[in-house]
């Protein structure tokens, strides 16, 4: 580390990357002439020896120390060692955690970097939802090879609701309808079978679902789309494709989306 600086120096000590403390410090510095200070971020602190090393350097300059440390013992080291060297400190995390301790019914995790992991989890979920929308209903066969899960089945077997549910569980999902008159895209057969899940359903239930769908659209509920002959032919065709691929098959008859999704996740994680 470098020695003294003519500018006041703010040392940021963090058990993660230190961006939270830097944001707070810059907000405070904006009330002064923030260009007249130097910020030195010291991330991923995990032991007292490193803290003491930083404070020994800070003692050589006109400095203060701001820190975000979740472990109480490390916060105590900063306060004790800084006091011995007459270095002002700003505990960014501690007061908030102490306040939370008075209202929460459980112990804190005390895991450094947890905020960053939660942010990463959020953005992963958003990306998965966008992926599911982009590659829904076979819109772009290229998505089949990119997906972590590919759902195949005839129309009205809950492919889209399942895709969205799994996307919220951070899985990249594409789905493809199986229609006897349309050959499946060749990309489907390039996907490893363990990443493909076939969806089957009782024909009587499927007929009822399709009739309701036609009614909701103001169409004839007796159309071929909802006829038992058409449904039987579609299901037989879908079964042949699934057998050809060798994928896992789930019967979605009378099952909630959550139930089927959990079964799919078990299979995918197991594979």
The CA distance from 147 to 190, in Å, is 12
Confidence of residue 260 (pLDDT cuts 50, 70, 90): very high
Domains 9-112 and 115-270 share a fold: yes
pLDDT digits (tens, 9 = 90+) for 126-144: 889 999 999 999 999 999 9
Residue with tokens 């992991």: 117
CATH topology of domain 115-270: Rossmann fold (3.40.50)
**CATH code reported for the domain at 9-112:** 3.40.50
Q: What is the pLDDT of residue 107?
A: 80
Residue 109 corresponds to which tokens in the numbers above? Answer: 């995790």
The CA distance from 23 to 21, in Å, is 5
The CA distance from 37 to 91, in Å, is 19
Q: What is the pLDDT of residue 48?
A: 94
- For the chain, domain boundaries: 9-112, 115-270
Q: What is the dihedral of CA 54, 60, 66, 70, to 10 degrees?
A: 20
Residue 123: count other Cβ atoms within 10 Å of its Cβ. Answer: 11
Which string of DSSP letters, residue by residue, matches 101-148? HHH-SS-----TTHHHHHHHHHHHHHHHHHHHHHTGGGS-THHHHH-S
pLDDT digits (tens, 9 = 90+) for 111-124: 766 666 666 777 78
Q: What is the pLDDT of residue 19?
A: 84
Residue 120 corresponds to which tokens in the numbers above? Answer: 């990463």
Strand partners, 176: 152
The CA distance from 188 to 241, in Å, is 10
The CA distance from 124 to 131, in Å, is 10
Mean pLDDT of the chain: 90
Residue 33 corresponds to which tokens in the numbers above? Answer: 């002439």
What percentage of the chain reaches a pLDDT higher than 70?
A: 94
């Amino acid at each position: 580390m470098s020695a003294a600086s003519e500018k006041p120096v703010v040392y940021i000590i963090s058990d993660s990357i230190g961006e939270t403390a830097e944001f707070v410090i810059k907000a405070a510095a904006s009330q002064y002439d923030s260009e007249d200070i130097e910020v030195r971020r010291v991330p991923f602190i995990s032991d007292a020896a490193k803290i003491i090393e930083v404070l020994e350097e800070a003692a050589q300059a006109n400095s203060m120390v701001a820190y975000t440390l979740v472990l109480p013992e490390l916060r105590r080291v900063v306060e004790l060692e800084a006091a011995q060297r007459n270095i002002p400190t700003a505990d960014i995390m501690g007061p908030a955690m102490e306040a939370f301790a008075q209202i929460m019914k459980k112990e804190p995790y005390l895991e450094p970097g947890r905020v960053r992991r939660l942010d990463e989890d959020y953005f992963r979920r958003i990306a998965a939802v966008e992926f599911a929308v982009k590659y829904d209903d076979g819109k772009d066969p290229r998505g089949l090879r990119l997906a972590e899960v590919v759902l195949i089945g005839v129309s009205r077997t809950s492919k889209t609701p399942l895709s969205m549910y799994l996307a919220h569980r951070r899985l990249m999902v594409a789905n493809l309808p199986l229609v006897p008159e349309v050959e499946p895209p060749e990309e489907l057969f390039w996907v490893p079978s363990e990443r493909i899940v076939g969806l089957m359903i009782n024909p009587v239930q499927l007929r009822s679902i399709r009739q309701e769908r036609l009614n909701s659209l103001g169409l004839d509920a007796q159309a071929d789309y909802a006829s038992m002959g058409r449904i039987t032919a579609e299901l037989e065709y879908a079964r042949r494709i699934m057998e050809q691929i060798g994928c896992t098959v789930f019967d979605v008859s009378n099952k909630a989306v959550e139930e089927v999704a959990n079964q799919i996740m078990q299979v995918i994680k197991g594979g």
